[in-house]
Amino acid sequence: MGLATMVVRGALGLGAAGLIWNTIGSPLYERVRGDNVIMESGYVNPKSLSIDKQKNAAGKTETMLTYKIGDETISLPCTKGAVGGALCGTVEYLWQNIAEEQRKTLVENGWEILGNEAKYRLVTKDLQQLYGVNRGGAK
């Protein structure tokens, strides 16, 4: 057997091994390695999250957090929060996904920092909705 034959057979063997690894071994390894992640209760599996960039109508880039729940995909806008941290999701989305006890805490703590005009608008709106009271106090 000549040197050229050995080189060709070696190259074919390595090529076949690489092909087998890419089609069977690597996906199997990723599945076994990734599915053994034990998540803390209440946390999202990082495999269901991705960060995407989208161009808006003005041609500027917006950052989105994409979250997969089964067949459904939700894209949440990621913006800078009031103190500079990241905030992902709209106000409506965040409020809908907060437990009732957490909502109560937010409302109670938030009421203290609201100005009197904002408090008046909120109370007036609630009175109108609950009791049909108009601005003058009459029904």
Q: Model confidence over 93-116: pLDDT tens digits?
A: 988 988 999 989 988 888 888 888
Contact predicate 111/119, CB 8 Å: yes
Residues 139, 111 within the same domain: yes
> Which of these ranges, 17-21, 80-84, 107-111, 116-120, has the smallest mean pLDDT?
17-21
3-state secondary structure 57-113: CCCCEEEEEEEEECCEEEEEEEEECCCCCEEECCHHHHHHCCCHHHHHHHHHHHHHH
Position with higher pLDDT, 68 vs 21: 68
Residues 47, 22 within the same domain: no
Residues 88, 113 within the same domain: no
Tally of domains within the chain: 3
24 is in which domain, residue-wise?
Answer: 1-36
pTM: 0.53
